[in-house]
Amino acid sequence: MIQDIDPKVFRNAFKEKKAESKDLFLAYDAENVLVHEEKTKLWYPSFADFDATFPDLKNNAQFLFEIDDINYYWVDEEGLDQVEGWVYVSSRRFRSEPKYWRSFAGAIGLQLSRWYKDHGFCSRCGASTTHAENERMLYCKSCGFRVYPTISPCVIVGVHDGDRLLLTQYAGREHTRFALVAGFVEIGESLEEAVHREVMEEVGVRVKDLQFYKSQPWPFTDTILAGFFAALDGDDAITLQEDELALAVWMDRKDIPPEELKISLTGEMMESFRLGKV
């Protein structure tokens, strides 16, 4: 999955440190990320690449994380793509980059950049927020309100009946690949309760014998995914929640399309079932 970057090591501990020319930075224009246009892989810029044209860039950079001994920063600056050789490309590239550590770095950076930009002002009193010096937190000097990165829990459910797996396709989505039943956990709800509710809401069937499979951080939607397999309990007739799903079908294990680039928990769960590991 996208976070499986071994032997490289991701270190997300917050540090208050100034950027140096050798460090890398991540810059975004909406959902697009700045990379070198002549590279076929995701090649992120260093401050050294921009020292001549943006000499103050290091002074306004926000430390994000480390991968091995490389420091990554976020910068919010216009005109970076005017420098020769650098362009903004769609963050969809994160889903096709074979070197997971490159896509993971870009996706986590995008998640954190969204958080910083979305909380520039206090949601309680409207005053500007300030970056804490000892932790990844924004606070309001006016009213004392604090805000930390938002992480929402979500369940992914592989509903099975013998050698059949219940596959779905989302409605109104650009991606039309098969997926599994999924949804956010509601307030006051356990993960297991969310599994039963989401399956009933989306496809109208009941499940039993829940088995936790694995979890995954999913920076694209600020979520932590919890994967479960669950057996069909009773009638297999599907009642589709049409505002959420375009399709839901029972598919035999041997007919499930193989997953080549398993960056997601959904893809890994489908592949595990297809190969008979579940």
Q: Which residue has the tokens 């919890």?
A: 226
**pLDDT tens column, 232-249:** 999 999 999 988 899 999
Domains detected in the chain: 10-118 (3.90.79), 152-274 (3.90.79.10)
Tokens for 188? 């006051």
Nearest Cα to 209, choosing from 224, 192, 194? 192
* Residues 222, 227: Cα–Cα separation, whole Å: 16
pLDDT range class, residue 172, cuts 50, 70, 90: confident
131 neighbors 62 (Cβ within 8 angstroms): yes
**pLDDT tens column, 95-120:** 889 899 999 999 999 999 999 999 99
* Residues 197, 200: Cα–Cα separation, whole Å: 5
Q: What's the mean pLDDT in 10-39?
A: 96
* Residues 33, 79: Cα–Cα separation, whole Å: 13
Mean pLDDT for all residues in the chain: 95
DSSP codes, 67-83 = ETTEEEEE---TTGGGS
Secondary structure of the chain: what % helix, strand, coil (to 5)? 25, 35, 45
**Comparing 95 with 3, which gets the higher pLDDT?**
3
Nearest Cα to 244, choosing from 210, 202, 214? 202
* Residues 88, 110: Cα–Cα separation, whole Å: 13
pLDDT range class, residue 262, cuts 50, 70, 90: confident
What's the pLDDT score for residue 96? 87
pLDDT range class, residue 177, cuts 50, 70, 90: confident
Beta bridge partners of 232: 207
Q: What's the mean pLDDT in 188-199?
A: 98
| CB-based burial label for 221 (10 Å; 0-12, 13-18, 19+) | exposed
**pLDDT tens column, 115-165:** 999 999 999 999 999 999 999 999 999 999 999 999 999 999 999 999 999
Residue 73 confidence (pLDDT) above 70: yes
* Residues 75, 19: Cα–Cα separation, whole Å: 11
What's the pLDDT score for residue 75? 97
What's the pLDDT score for residue 174? 66
**pLDDT tens column, 25-54:** 999 999 999 999 999 899 999 999 999 999
Percentage with pLDDT > 70 across the chain: 98
What's the pLDDT score for residue 81? 96
Residue 176 confidence (pLDDT) above 80: no
Residue 265 confidence (pLDDT) above 90: yes
What's the pLDDT score for residue 53? 95
Q: What angle do CA 107, 217, 214 make, to 5 degrees?
A: 145
Residue 175 confidence (pLDDT) above 70: no
Query: Residue 269 in 3-state DSSP?
Result: helix
pTM over 0.85: yes
Q: What's the mean pLDDT in 7-18?
A: 95
